[in-house]
Amino acid sequence: MRGHHRLSPLRIIGRYALACLLAGPFSAVVQLANADAGSWPTPPATSAPPPQISGPLQGGTADHTKFDELKGPFETGSQVTQACLSCHTETGQHFMKNIHWTWSYQDPNTGQQLGKRYLINNFCTNSRGNEGMCAQCHAGYGWKDESFDFTDETKIDCLVCHETTGTYYKTPNSEGSPACSVMFEGKPPIDLAAAAQSVDLPQRANCGACHFNGGGGDNVKHGDLSTALKQPPRSLDVHMGVDGLNFACTACHVTNKHVWAGSRYQIVSKDTEGTGLPGQRTDVATCESCHGLAPHPVDSLAGFKLNDHVQSIACQTCHIPEFARGGVATVIDWDWRTAGRTRDGEGYHEEGYIQGNGGHRYTYKSIKGDFVYDENIIPEYDWFDGQMVYTTIDTTFDPNAESIEINGFSGSREDERSRIWPFKRMHTWQPYDKGNGTLVYTHLWGEDDAAYWGNYDMGAAIEKGMADFGLNYSGEYGFIETLSWWPITHMVTPKEQALACGDCHTPKDSRLAEVKGVYLPGRDRNRWLDIIGTLIVAGTLGGILIHAGIRFFSPKGSHH
Amino acid sequence: MALHQVKIFSGFERFWHWSQMLLILILLITGFGLHGFHSLVSFETAVTWHTGAALALLLLWAFSIFWLFTTRTWRHFIPTITGMWGVLRYYSYGIFKGERHPYRKAYWRKHNPLQALAYLMLKIVLFPAIWISGLAYLFYFAWRNIPNAPAWLEGVALVHTAAAFAILTFVFVHVYMLTTGHSFREHVMPMITGFDEVDLTPEEEAYLRKDEPEQIR
């Protein structure tokens, strides 16, 4: 039994009744009391940043600098891993089950084969066949093609997540075209022993090494995950703020045997269980798992109403009014049609966007095409039940379709599991198989003549990308508009900056102007009723004026 | 039969009237704000005041209904057509000729027939429409999971808004009526002092003089 259950209608009414009795007289007192305590539960700023909080356990029981096993010297990262596994005997078997290792996930509802290993997105499109480059973000060593041994625990990369010197880095697992490999030359050697002795629970910068740079650059992909979160102010993220709670990622993405809570493939759109009993709920990263099912302090009628809204509105909708904040822009539009231009036979890039923190961003790259950036973005909103349905390499569609959803999602007002969620909308023109109506694996990275990055022949790159995996390709490619949807869940603002009621409940420019299936007070109205009602009221006033006028001008009637 | 200054509005009745006036004023202003007609106050403030005023009004009504039935004063609101024509004729014709209002308040009939009918309709049609729809509106989240809840909510909102327009219309007519017949002040004073001119039978006068002398001046 969980500690909390869904509130029955009777209990809601009962709580209202109680509020009526209590809220009026006591709210003023409560507010006065709160004024002194700061803005609880948001902690006050402190001068010295505390260590990042990964969970309830603090301190640890071992000093890794004292272990002989970690003295080194180490030639390779894998040797460090073997040292780790000599004490952490079961970790390898645990780790190899998680998605950071497998890059594979089968949706239990749709049966779809998902995971980075297989999927096509509308950024750099596909990692399949490009692992030499893309698997830099695989939590392992040496995945460059299909021959990688997913059962070899010595190939796990412990350091990328656990080292805290900040000097550790990864390079592509294969050389790639000379035009590209030059980018990775001249890096300083890594002191693996120092890195090994520095291990700790993962810091934001560890996770961020990959997750802040998804899609090929800082905040390109998610919009709500950028390097601004390495040392964010509380105003950017109330949980991660260094002048606030200073949470590490794993404070919410709780870990059990190296499997993390909080999945983009299986999203909990409405948590109906809340906090659970002490020691429970290590299976989710939902807001409710800490904040409960009635998260707003009940010191006003508005507090009750807000707690009711939890049924219909995801926390993120009000508490993340904008994403791509903190000075780092995200890509919202990508056009592969313009990729492949060269100058004197060489690829080039152009900077055309200066973001909030002053950094310059590429708006054109020969290897990728044109990008459009944006910052401080108001999300798109829609009902969402947590279920994404992907357009995978196996999906066929009408080749003349206007656009394709990379990850369409379902949800509606009628569905009790659905809530209104905020999304980043990513729009891309990307290559597809025009003849068969499928997406394509593009061979981007490689030392051969077909790799697009270096040779700039899209036809050849698709030909090889498909052939390498025995996939049917018509031989005719085109470009199609694709959309992908990214539920926004990071960059939670302090509550003072959350949306106000009137941001949605308003006839003009409502945040939820496009959300269907619900009558939203303030936003919606019956036009005819308003016209008729206004006419009746105005007519009455007019009638009164006429009546009064006649009385006034009738000599005998003026005072009666 | 003779006219006397008699206390026709008890202390509770006057408190009821004026607090109801204040609450309805708050409800009208905040309600039309919530509807999007103006933005004098934020949506959150408007919801808070609207809900608070509505719940206070419901409490007041609970007391007033108890009062009406325990003091038998509900009988003032029994509809009648006796004298209705005279009142209608007066407002649409006689008033312009400087005629005298045809209705005399009686001890057990302090409202003229048109007034009694208007107040009765307010009590049994408009007010129930607005408070029943209002409670349904307020507790939407308690029934949001029934089939077609959004369509029901739209219906509830429709009834609630329509009733609000009707009540606003009533308020305008009600206030305007104070300017007719006697002076505005003379119309308002009874609801402040409680005393108004009432046509008493000799028996009623004798009873009041002997048993309730404080009710008659």
pLDDT digits (tens, 9 = 90+) for B153-181: 999 999 999 999 999 999 999 999 888 76
- Residue-level pLDDT at A280: 63
Considering only CB atoms, which chain B residues are within 8 Å of A16?
138-139
> Who has greater pLDDT, A55 or A174?
A174
Which of A301, A416, A500 lies nearest to residue B51, judging by beta carbons? A301
Q: With bands split at pLDDT 50, 70 and 90, how would you rate the model's confidence at A557?
A: very low
* A3 has pLDDT over 80: no
> Who has greater pLDDT, A558 or B70?
B70
Q: Report the percentage of chain A scoring pLDDT > 70.
A: 89
Instruction: Clarify whether residues A364 and A251 are in a common domain.
Output: no
Q: Is the minimum CB–CB distance between B139 and chain A shorter than 8 Å?
A: yes
Instruction: Clarify whether residues A489 and A458 are in a common domain.
Output: yes
Instruction: Clarify whether residues A92 and A227 are in a common domain.
Output: yes
Residue A154 forms part of a structural domain: yes
Instruction: Clarify whether residues A243 and A388 are in a common domain.
Output: no
* A2 has pLDDT over 80: no
Question: Is the separation of the CB atoms in A89 and A95 below 8 Å?
Answer: no
Give the residue from chain A lying closest to B142, CA to CA.
A9
Considering only CB atoms, which chain A residues are within 8 Å of B137?
521
Q: Is the minimum CB–CB distance between B100 and chain A shorter than 8 Å?
A: yes
* A19 has pLDDT over 80: no
Question: Is the separation of the CB atoms in A128 and A104 below 8 Å?
Answer: no
Q: Distance from A377 to chain B by nearest Cα, in Å?
A: 24
**What is the ipTM for the molecules in this complex?**
0.89
Considering only CB atoms, which chain A residues are within 8 Å of B100?
560
Report the run of H or E that residue B45 belongs to, with start and end: helix B43-70
Q: Is A75 exposed, middle or buried (0-12, 13-18, 19+ CB in 10 A)?
A: exposed
- Residue-level pLDDT at A479: 97
* A58 has pLDDT over 80: no
Residue A247 forms part of a structural domain: yes
* A260 has pLDDT over 80: yes
Contacts 24+ apart (CB under 8 A), A254-263: A254/A55, A254/A282, A254/A283, A254/A284, A254/A285, A256/A282, A256/A283, A257/A94, A257/A97, A258/A91, A258/A94, A258/A95, A258/A97, A258/A98, A259/A94, A259/A97, A259/A98, A260/A98, A260/A99, A260/A285, A261/A285, A263/A99, A263/A105
Q: Is the minimum CB–CB distance between B144 and chain A shorter than 8 Å?
A: yes
* A38 has pLDDT over 60: no
For residue B117, give both structure tokens.
């009918």
Give the residue from chain A lying closest to B36, CA to CA.
A522
Residue A33 forms part of a structural domain: no
- State how many domains chain A has: 3
Q: Is the minimum CB–CB distance between B36 and chain A shorter than 8 Å?
A: yes
Domain that holds residue B175: 2-215
Please, which residues have CB within 8 angstroms of residue A190's CB and are 6 or more apart in sequence?
A167, A168, A169
- Residue-level pLDDT at B103: 84
CATH of the domain at B72: 1.20.950.20
Q: Distance from A339 to chain B by nearest Cα, in Å?
A: 48
Which of A13, A506, A548 lies nearest to residue B36, judging by beta carbons? A506
- Residue-level pLDDT at A14: 53
Instruction: Clarify whether residues A554 and A458 are in a common domain.
Output: no
Residue A147 forms part of a structural domain: yes
Instruction: Clarify whether residues A141 and A261 are in a common domain.
Output: yes
Tell me if the bond preceding A41 is cis, omega within 30° of 0.
yes
> Who has greater pLDDT, A183 or A459?
A459
- Residue-level pLDDT at B57: 97
Residue A43 forms part of a structural domain: no
Query: What gap in Å lies between CA B193 and CA B11, rounded to an integer?
Result: 9
Q: How many CB atoms lie within 10 A of CB A324?
A: 28
Q: What would the mean pLDDT of B11-19 be, rounded to a whole number?
A: 95
Q: Is the minimum CB–CB distance between A5 and chain B shorter than 8 Å?
A: no
Instruction: Clarify whether residues A421 and A383 are in a common domain.
Output: yes
For residue A524, give both structure tokens.
């919606």
- Note the pLDDT tens digit of each residue in A415-438: 999 999 999 999 999 999 999 999
Query: What gap in Å lies between CA A248 and CA A255, rounded to an integer?
Result: 12
Residue A225 forms part of a structural domain: yes
Instruction: Clarify whether residues A193 and A272 are in a common domain.
Output: yes
* A278 has pLDDT over 90: no
Give the residue from chain A lying closest to B175, CA to CA.
A544
- Note the pLDDT tens digit of each residue in B111-133: 888 888 999 999 999 999 999 99
Query: What gap in Å lies between CA A495 and CA A296, rounded to an integer?
Result: 10
Give the residue from chain B lying closest to A8, CA to CA.
B142
Q: Distance from B79 to chain A by nearest Cα, in Å?
A: 24
Instruction: Clarify whether residues A551 and A495 are in a common domain.
Output: no
Instruction: Clarify whether residues A292 and A341 are in a common domain.
Output: no
For all residues of chain A together, what is the average pLDDT?
89
- Substitution target from A418, A501, A523 for chain B, most B beta carbons within 10 A: A501
* A352 has pLDDT over 50: yes
Domain that holds residue A440: 330-503
Query: What gap in Å lies between CA A495 and CA A326, rounded to an integer?
Result: 17
Window A:453-512, CB contacts with B under 8 Å: 500-502, 505-507
**Strand A380-384 to A349-354 pairing:** unpaired
Pairs of CB atoms within 8 A across A/B:
128
Instruction: Clarify whether residues A418 and A471 are in a common domain.
Output: yes
Instruction: Clarify whether residues A345 and A210 are in a common domain.
Output: no
Lowest mean pLDDT among A34-48, A49-63, A185-199, A474-488: A34-48
- Substitution target from B48, B50, B126 for chain A, most A beta carbons within 10 A: B48
- Residue-level pLDDT at A551: 85
Give residue B105's identity as a one-letter amino acid code. K
Report the run of H or E that residue A477 belongs to, with start and end: strand A477-487
- Note the pLDDT tens digit of each residue in A75-97: 999 999 999 999 999 999 999 99
DSSP assignment of A18-58 equals HHHHHHHHHHHHHHHHHHHT-STTSPPP-SSPPPPB-SS--
Q: What would the mean pLDDT of A312-329 be, rounded to a whole number?
A: 97
- Residue-level pLDDT at A555: 67
- Residue-level pLDDT at A282: 61
- Residue-level pLDDT at A20: 45
Its sign, for the CA torsion A148, A149, A150, A152, is negative
Q: What would the mean pLDDT of A32-49 be, rounded to a whole number?
A: 49
Q: What would the mean pLDDT of A541-557 be, rounded to a whole number?
A: 84
SS3 letters across A334-381: EEHHHCCCCECCECCEEEEEECCCCCEEEEEECCCEEEEEECCECCEE
Lowest mean pLDDT among A168-182, A541-555, B175-189: B175-189
Q: What would the mean pLDDT of A63-80 be, rounded to a whole number?
A: 94
- Note the pLDDT tens digit of each residue in A367-386: 999 999 999 999 999 999 99
Would you call A537 and B169 a contact, using CB atoms and an 8 Å cutoff?
yes
* A213 has pLDDT over 50: yes
- State how many domains chain B has: 1
Closest CA to A340 of A457, A207, A473: A457
Q: Is the minimum CB–CB distance between A546 and chain B shorter than 8 Å?
A: no
Q: Is the minimum CB–CB distance between A312 and chain B shorter than 8 Å?
A: yes
Which of A301, A523, A525 lies nearest to residue B48, judging by beta carbons? A301
* B37 has pLDDT over 70: yes
Q: Is the minimum CB–CB distance between A301 and chain B shorter than 8 Å?
A: yes
Would you call A501 and B44 a contact, using CB atoms and an 8 Å cutoff?
yes
Q: Tell me how far the alpha carbon of residue A390 is from its chain's centroid.
A: 17
Residue A533 forms part of a structural domain: yes
Which bin fits A470, alpha (ψ -120 to 50), beta or left (φ > 0)? Answer: left
Its sign, for the CA torsion A271, A274, A280, A286, is positive
Query: What gap in Å lies between CA A290 and CA A128, rounded to an integer?
Result: 37
